[in-house]
Chains A and B, each alone.
Chain A
Amino acid sequence: MPNPTALMIVGALLFAIGVVGFLTRRNMIVMFLSTEVMFQGVLMNLVGMGLLHGNIQGQGLGIFVLVIAAVEAGLGLAIVVMLYRRRGTLDAENWRSLRG
């Protein structure tokens, strides 16, 4: 039986790593990976909360989020590939012109 507090600490750490990675890197694939790491952090939190409350809804919701994250990852990577084909680089700075 894992400790919910430990799970949530791991989740918070994962989220923080993801945030830092997202903020510091310009490579779109790495930024994308960082968002996935943030995702997993939130997921860990969900599971931890579920344990804290003594039910399986947290884990159930976790599975759902996992599936959707996989789908979303496919979509996101496809977009990254398209962007790469357009400009021949993965640098996010290249797309500043998309600002409002």
Chain B
Amino acid sequence: MELKTLAILIPLLPLAGSALVGAIGLRGLKDRSHWLVLAGVTAALFCAVSLFYQVNTELNRGGSETAAAIGAHAQIDPSQQVGYGKLAESFTIYEWIPAGAADWLNVTFRVDPLTIVMLLTVLSVSTMVVMYSVGYMRDHHGHAELGYERFFAFLGLFVFSMCMLVLAGNFLLLYLGWELVGLCSYLLIGFYYQKPSAAAAAKKAFLVNRIGDFGFGLGILLIYLTFNTLDYQEVFNMVANSKMAGDLALSTERITTIALLLFCGAMGKSAQLPLHVWLPDAMEGPTPVSALIHAATMVTAGVYMVARCSVIFAASPIAMWIVGAIGAATALFAATIALTQFDMKRILAYSTLSQLGYMFLGLGVGAFDSAMFHLYTHAFFKACLFLGAGSVMHAMAGEIDIRRFSGLRKAMPITYFTFLISGLALAGVPLLSAFWSKDEIIHAALASSTPWLGWIGLVTAFLTAFYTFRMIFMAFHNEERLPRGVEHAHESGVWMSAPLVLLAIGAVFAGYVGVTTGHGGFLGMFEPHGAFHHFLAPNFSDAKGHEMTVAAAQGVAHGAGEHGSESHWLMWLSSGLAFYGIFNAWYFYTRRPGIPLAIALASGSVYKLFYHKYYVDELYDLVFVRPLRRLGDMCYACDRFVINGILWIIAAIPRAIGFLLRGWQQGAMQGYALGMVVGLVVIMWWVLANA
């Protein structure tokens, strides 16, 4: 199929599934509602794979041939495409708001390597999660939960929104997708809307996102103000040439403002400090939603957006520094909180925050491709971890506190092994996916002008290994203990286990598309910067500068030439840290269970600080929520007493007049008639007197 057809089909198939389920799910499909959405998402995945092969072929053909091939059916003149060139195609799907000369109000899809990486990640994880939900959204007897069809309709809508977000060819459409995924997130967090905590969490997520989106919207407006267009390609070209719409030179301040405003949106959506507060609460939603939206896909939209706008960000050193610093701060901050939590899903949520922090760290030091690589590997192992936690939750009748159960290893072997594999990947154990991606980010940070970011990354890597395995040892090891009301733990059915296994396979092998072999790196076999980076190179060539582009485009690992020996010690160090963290967790939580308590007691206030999540929620409550509520109360009082009072007074005037005049109306018709006659006489007299 042609690229354009595929690009249209990818978002539309899930949308069609979702709309059909929404229309007839409740009446006709009921507990078979999943089929339509599953079919739509799977078909979209196949479309994305086909798209990938086509673009990959184009990429490998390379050179003028590609430019000619694409120029034939691309909207944008190939000669305009600085740097990106060759691999980006924009299709105008629909003229959204016909506005004369301004053609940026179209629904434009853009297909380039970055889009395809995101589509593959999103759709493969989505397929797994939809499959998993079929098993998860049922009770033990296989009866569908209340709202089953609603769940799948929302899930389909989310996949559509996410595809729109990544396929968008201009900032307006990006904003549309951005808000749509926010809406789906709200709907799905609040899926159990009867539960007050879920409703509150949904509201919180929506409101916190709104703060970020406000900045994002302003950023888009400023882009339009500066460049007089919202089309990606045109904006990026102008930034690359440092030009404004009126041929004026672009000032650094302006570009920094744009970058930081855009980053505001990313902070909200990707839950970075200080807008991270919604993500842990978002775990109130059903677990598949946490896995799909709040771990693998939607929260990475911020990372995607910054990578997409890499040209803009790279043009502003200050913005880059802020992105990196916030990323590193979030990574460390969230990891320390995760050390002390007991709710499996919350630990994973903080871990997600931490990993997103890594991605922003990578973006901040200019390693855009490494950040995207981490996004891609993270999607698999984190989705797998969440789904594993969901599987445990399902077996434990909704209990998720790791103090309440232990030793589930025997009872739930599939969940245990997949969880273990993904946990190893998250911990950064060598040869699993996150090892490659995380190391690349740390390596890039150490090699950058801000090496301390890399050191924060290394500390966080140790913490990550520790908290992950703390959770694994507490939940799956030691003697078997079940929460009250659960007679025996049982393994989940095939609908739930199959996605777990597939994602675990992804967690092991996903990293290998990002490494090359045979350059004599770690273990003498693998080198960073493999096919993945080669594939993405056209996207980041402008941002990364000429030298690195050439290296990446030729598939030459720069680890080998420039800093080969450094990457060796880094690989040894980070794997050593991972193993040390795992060993500590094992020692603390299986051999000497007294130690954690002793440390908690000894550290006292520090432990409390971590356990209470740095009191950020309380701080926000004090600084923002309560004053705002007070303001709301004041407005309400003002409305009630001042405005309503004035209205009451105004209404009282006719009422008083009516009260006075009411006495005239006696109901005797002759009385009225007499009044009329008298009036008539008076008028006549008046007319005659003035004549």
Q: Is B670 an interface residue (CB 8 A)?
A: yes
Q: Which residues of B contact A96 (CB under 8 A)?
A: 666-668
Determine whether the beta carbon of B673 is less than 8 Å from that of A93: no
Complex Cα gap A97–B668 (Å):
9
How many residues of A sit at the interface, in one of the four size bands?
10 to 19
Q: Is A19 an interface residue (CB 8 A)?
A: yes
Which residue on B lies nearest to A92, using beta carbons? B669
Determine whether the beta carbon of A99 is less than 8 Å from that of B666: yes
Complex Cα gap A18–B668 (Å):
18
Determine whether the beta carbon of A23 is less than 8 Å from that of B670: yes
B-facing residues in A45-100 (Cβ within 8 Å): 92-93, 95-100
Determine whether the beta carbon of B670 is less than 8 Å from that of A97: no
Complex Cα gap A97–B669 (Å):
11
Chain A facing B: main interface SS: helix
Q: Which residues of B contact A98 (CB under 8 A)?
A: 667
Minimum C-beta distance from B677 to chain A (A): 6
Q: Is A8 an interface residue (CB 8 A)?
A: no
Q: Which residues of B contact A37 (CB under 8 A)?
A: none
Determine whether the beta carbon of A95 is less than 8 Å from that of B667: yes
Minimum C-beta distance from A97 to chain B (A): 7
Determine whether the beta carbon of A100 is less than 8 Å from that of B670: no
Q: Which residues of B contact A26 (CB under 8 A)?
A: 670
Complex Cα gap A49–B68 (Å):
92
Q: Which residues of A contact B27 (CB under 8 A)?
A: none
Q: Is A31 an interface residue (CB 8 A)?
A: yes
Complex Cα gap A19–B673 (Å):
8
What's the A-B contact tally at a CB cutoff of 8 Å? Answer: 27
Q: Is B674 an interface residue (CB 8 A)?
A: yes
Chain B facing A: main interface SS: helix
Complex Cα gap A43–B673 (Å):
20
A93 in complex: contacting residue of B668, B674, B677, CB < 8 Å: B668
Q: Which residues of B contact A31 (CB under 8 A)?
A: 669
B674 in complex: contacting residue of A23, A92, A99, A100, CB < 8 Å: A23
Complex Cα gap A21–B674 (Å):
12
Minimum C-beta distance from A42 to chain B (A): 12
Determine whether the beta carbon of B677 is less than 8 Å from that of A100: no
Q: Is B665 an interface residue (CB 8 A)?
A: yes
Minimum C-beta distance from B524 to chain A (A): 102
Complex Cα gap A23–B665 (Å):
16
Q: Is B662 an interface residue (CB 8 A)?
A: yes
Determine whether the beta carbon of B673 is less than 8 Å from that of A23: yes
Q: Which residues of B contact A100 (CB under 8 A)?
A: 662, 665
Determine whether the beta carbon of B677 is less than 8 Å from that of A99: no
Determine whether the beta carbon of B674 is less than 8 Å from that of A97: no
Determine whether the beta carbon of B667 is less than 8 Å from that of A22: no
Minimum C-beta distance from A89 to chain B (A): 14
Complex Cα gap A99–B670 (Å):
13
A-facing residues in B634-691 (Cβ within 8 Å): 662, 665-670, 673-674, 677
Determine whether the beta carbon of B667 is less than 8 Å from that of A97: yes
Q: Which residues of B contact A92 (CB under 8 A)?
A: 668-670
A23 in complex: contacting residue of B662, B666, B667, B677, CB < 8 Å: B677
Complex Cα gap A96–B667 (Å):
4
Q: Which residues of B contact A19 (CB under 8 A)?
A: 673, 677
Which A residues have a C-beta under 8 Å from some C-beta of B? 19, 22-24, 26, 31, 92-93, 95-100
> Top 10 closest A-B pairs, CB basis?
A99-B667, A96-B667, A99-B665, A100-B665, A92-B669, A22-B673, A23-B670, A23-B673, A19-B677, A23-B674
Knowing that A19-B677, A24-B670 are A-B contacts, what are 20 other residue pairs whose CB atoms are under 8 Å apart, sorted by A's residue number? A19-B673, A22-B673, A23-B670, A23-B674, A26-B670, A31-B669, A92-B669, A92-B670, A93-B668, A95-B667, A95-B669, A96-B666, A96-B667, A96-B668, A97-B667, A98-B667, A99-B665, A99-B666, A100-B662, A100-B665
Which B residues have a C-beta under 8 Å from some C-beta of A? 662, 665-670, 673-674, 677
> Can you offer 27 A-B residue contacts whose CB atoms are under 8 A?
A19-B673, A19-B677, A22-B670, A22-B673, A23-B670, A23-B673, A23-B674, A23-B677, A24-B670, A26-B670, A31-B669, A92-B668, A92-B669, A92-B670, A93-B668, A95-B667, A95-B669, A96-B666, A96-B667, A96-B668, A97-B667, A98-B667, A99-B665, A99-B666, A99-B667, A100-B662, A100-B665
